Amino acid sequence: MSGDPRRILLVEDEAAIRDAEVAYLESAGFAVTPAEDGRKAVEAFGKGPFDVVVLDLMLPVLSGEEVCRRIRANSDVPIIMVTAKGEVEDRIIGLELGADDYLVKPFSMRELIARIKALLRRSRTEDEAQRETATYGDLVIDLAGHKVFVRDEEVELTPSEFKLLTTLARYPGRVYSRMELVEKVLGYDFEGYERTIDSHVKNLRAKIGDDPHNPTWIYTVHGVGYRFEIPKATQSTDGD
């Protein structure tokens, strides 16, 4: 990976923390745009693009939640939510709003860099998946041909099941709420349809042979939704 540095939008209202993070990330080779409150964060995001957003939850003017919601309204950019210690509820809120990961304060700079790099690797997996074929262990998705294979056997999926699978697999490790999946897969947003997603997931699991109690690919995130994982044994074979 040569060329332009990866761009980070760093949203943090505490000047001392923000300055330290900017200095550290820049020394690690990232291009950093700092924002000190929620409104400035939304404005800065509009002037992007960014490769990753690091977003403090407790912010003046607009909350981190609201910033996350606004970014997610039209972007799939990876978002790391930063929460204060002990705010477990906030972590759930962040994931429900579509954050990809979270960090609990205080965290080390090394930890921050590690999380950013992990998300950049994930979105590279996504870029690769945009091409033709994506392989996740025994599961192969032929995106151009709209076909799915498990252990070399073709599996017949409905268009909704195919969309559901490719949506989840696009960002391995990212938690999708039922509501998000309704919007992305079915294209409408009535609350009653969240159960429809559960039945699509159930059918999809049955067809690809994924055991919900011991999943290979599709994991239930209780009280939130679902996420897709690349099977562990195959994670390191892509030469990354």
Q: Which is nearer to Ca ion, 55 or 148 (CB)?
A: 55
Q: Which is nearer to Ca ion, 25 or 67 (CB)?
A: 67
* Sequence-distant (≥ 6) Cβ neighbours of residue 220 within 8 angstroms: 212, 226
Q: Which is nearer to Ca ion, 15 or 206 (CB)?
A: 15
**Would you count residue 36 as binding Ca ion (CB under 5 A)?**
no
Q: Which is nearer to Ca ion, 38 or 172 (CB)?
A: 38
- Cβ 35 to Ca ion, closest distance in Å? 12
Cβ-contact 67, 41 below 8 angstroms: yes
- Cβ 14 to Ca ion, closest distance in Å? 6
Hunting for tokens 């700092």 — which residue is that? 34
The Cα diameter of the chain in Å comes to 56
- Cβ 190 to Ca ion, closest distance in Å? 35
Q: Which is nearer to Ca ion, 57 or 129 (CB)?
A: 57
- Cβ 58 to Ca ion, closest distance in Å? 4
Can you tell me which of 13, 90, 101, 180 binds Ca ion, judged by CB under 5 A? Answer: 13
* 126 Cα distance to chain centroid: 10
- Of 5-13, 15-23, 95-103, 199-207, which part binds Ca ion (CB under 5 A)? 5-13
d(CA 99, CA 180): 12
The 50-69 site mask, x for binding Ca ion (CB under 5 A), equals ------x-x-----------
Q: Which is nearer to Ca ion, 13 or 90 (CB)?
A: 13
Sign of CA dihedral 197, 231, 174, 237: negative
| Partners of 218 in beta bridges | 228
Closest CA to 125 of 172, 161, 87: 172
* Sequence-distant (≥ 6) Cβ neighbours of residue 64 within 8 angstroms: 11, 38, 55, 56, 57, 58, 81, 82, 94
d(CA 215, CA 70): 33
- Cβ 55 to Ca ion, closest distance in Å? 10
Q: What is the binding site for Ca ion (CB under 5 A)?
A: 13, 56, 58
